[in-house]
Amino acid sequence: MHRRGCATRGLLLVAAGVLAAVSPDLVWLGVASAVLGLGNLVVLLGAQAWISRASSTARYDAGFGWLTAGMAVGQAIGPLIAGLVIGRRTHADGVVAEAFWIAAAVGVLVALVFVSRATAMVGSSAEPEVALSPAGILRRPGVIASMAVSVSLLTSVDILSAYLPVIGEHAGIAPAAVGGLLALRGIASAVPRFLLGPMSRRWTRSSLVAASTIGGAATMAAVALTQKLVPLVLVMVVGGFLIGIGIGQPLTMSLVALAVPREVRSEALAIRLVGNRVAQTAIPVAAGALAVVAGVAGVFWLQAAFLAGSTAWSLVGERRRRGGASE
């Protein structure tokens, strides 16, 4: 990856924060949101490509684990700041803009890291070309199943972020407390990602993926069943760390990357990421429609079923691959 291109990715995040901070109306806020989405996408594409090219396959789990741990830390800090901002909204004007300026400052740090010598330049135009179309990548055994797991876990985080505040409002839980709950989930998810390297040496990837998705399903069901603060604290901690949404994302990155030849791993990871983004657009819309009919609890129950289904698909695919390899 060239450092100049990486810096551009970071500057997109800066531009999004600045635009959001100075937006005079919803139209400009929408533009800022689009720039943020683009910046997020290209930063993740670059980071995943860098790991897939710079790391040995034995270190994929650890590399992707640290990447997603950093993402989880960000997801923990963001809702916490948002909750504090919302809690201050009756005391001061412009506090939302302050949060966006903070986000822009973080984007500057991201750009500086990318242009520093700490980020090695990897990849070469001299690498042999492998003719494998996007359709060919998707036909590789395990790719679509791993993408389904990734989508189910990622959209679970989105649904928690979107609908836990609704549950909190109905239950009389303060916005700052809801932000704290989401921060707890993010922190709890980050911890096992830092330990993913040793964990993947102790257990198989398929076992860890199953534990993550089954735990995620249990988390969704538990949120649907309770609207009390203390039980929700326990659900966020246990769901994030022991059984929840913490380890499935980096493992599916490894599984997708290892399912294709090394020369097209960046492309395979890009397809996985695009699939995630499409799902993040479509599934919340469907969830909103379901919430109108079945209530917020129905959204969490459906997501639990989605996670359970992706677990079954992944395990069946793994069994078939093992059966084919043994013949």
How many residues are given for the chain?
327
pLDDT of residue 192: 81
Per-residue pLDDT of the chain (327 residues; tens, 9 = 90+): 445 555 666 788 888 888 888 888 888 888 988 888 888 788 788 788 878 877 778 888 888 888 877 777 776 677 677 667 656 655 555 666 777 887 788 778 777 776 665 555 444 444 545 667 888 999 888 889 889 988 888 888 888 888 898 888 888 888 888 888 888 887 888 788 888 888 888 888 888 888 888 888 999 999 989 888 999 999 988 887 765 555 777 888 888 888 888 888 888 988 998 888 888 888 888 888 888 888 888 999 999 999 999 888 888 777 766 655 444
pLDDT of residue 1: 47
Which of 279, 219, 224, 273 is CA-nearest to residue 245?
Answer: 219
Query: What span, in angstroms and rounded, lies between the C-alpha atoms of 161 and 142?
Result: 29
Query: Residues near 158 by Cβ (< 8 Å), separated by ≥ 6?
Result: 280, 283, 284
Structure tokens that stand for 113 in this block: 């890291």
Structure tokens that stand for 289 in this block: 């429609």
Query: What span, in angstroms and rounded, lies between the C-alpha atoms of 314 and 157?
Result: 20
Query: What span, in angstroms and rounded, lies between the C-alpha atoms of 197 and 162?
Result: 31
- Give the domain 3-118+135-321 fold: Growth Hormone; Chain: A; (1.20.1250)
Q: Are 188 and 240 in contact (CB under 8 A)?
A: yes
